[in-house]
A = this chain, B = another copy of it.
Amino acid sequence: MSHEHNDLQEALDTLKATGVRITPQRHAILEYLIQSMTHPTADDIYKALEGKFPNMSVATVYNNLRVFREVGLVKELTYGDASSRFDFVTTDHYHVICEDCGKIVDFHYPGLDEVEQLASHVTGFKVSHHRMEVYGTCPECSNEKEVH
């Protein structure tokens, strides 16, 4: 059984267990998110599924991405004023973002529990989670720059 199929099945099980109905649109959005390596925006997804669902509304995409986020299936990544990007949650990982072309690449790093503890201790907050991203220039864009 392929990785994608596996992930999709688990995701559908999660939805069923949470009492969220499985519609063709939801199925397709999940499928697209799982096979996508590009951390798509809501609009990317909308456009990608236009062929299969000519009558689908953007609202449906947004609604379902919110549902998936609430159930913990996807993470919403927000960068500046541009559109949010959505990431199917498999294992915990962080992102490196190219400041020239916007490409997002995953990398793994042992959880920063220490930071959360320190923050909690210093500020008195009850900490729930954290977010971290690294910014820089991807190899391709670095080459571009050297050539010109």
Residues of A that sit less than 8 Å from B by CB: 76, 78-81, 84, 94, 96, 98-99, 105, 107-109, 112, 115-116, 118-120, 122-139, 142
Contact = CB atoms under 8 A, between A and B. Distances in A.
Given A105-B125, A123-B107, A133 B131 contact: yes
A57 B119 CA distance: 38
B132 A132 contact: yes
Contacts of A116: 134
A78 B76 contact: no
B134 A125 contact: yes
A96 B125 contact: yes
B134 A119 contact: yes
Given A80-B76, A98-B125, A125-B98, A115 B131 contact: no
Nearest to A124: B139
Contact of A80 (B78, B98, B133): B78
B96 A127 contact: yes
A5 B139 CA distance: 43
A134 B122 CA distance: 12
Contacts of A128: 99, 135-137
Nearest to A103: B125
Contacts of A107: 118-119, 122-123
Contacts of A81: 78, 84
Contacts of A78: 78-81
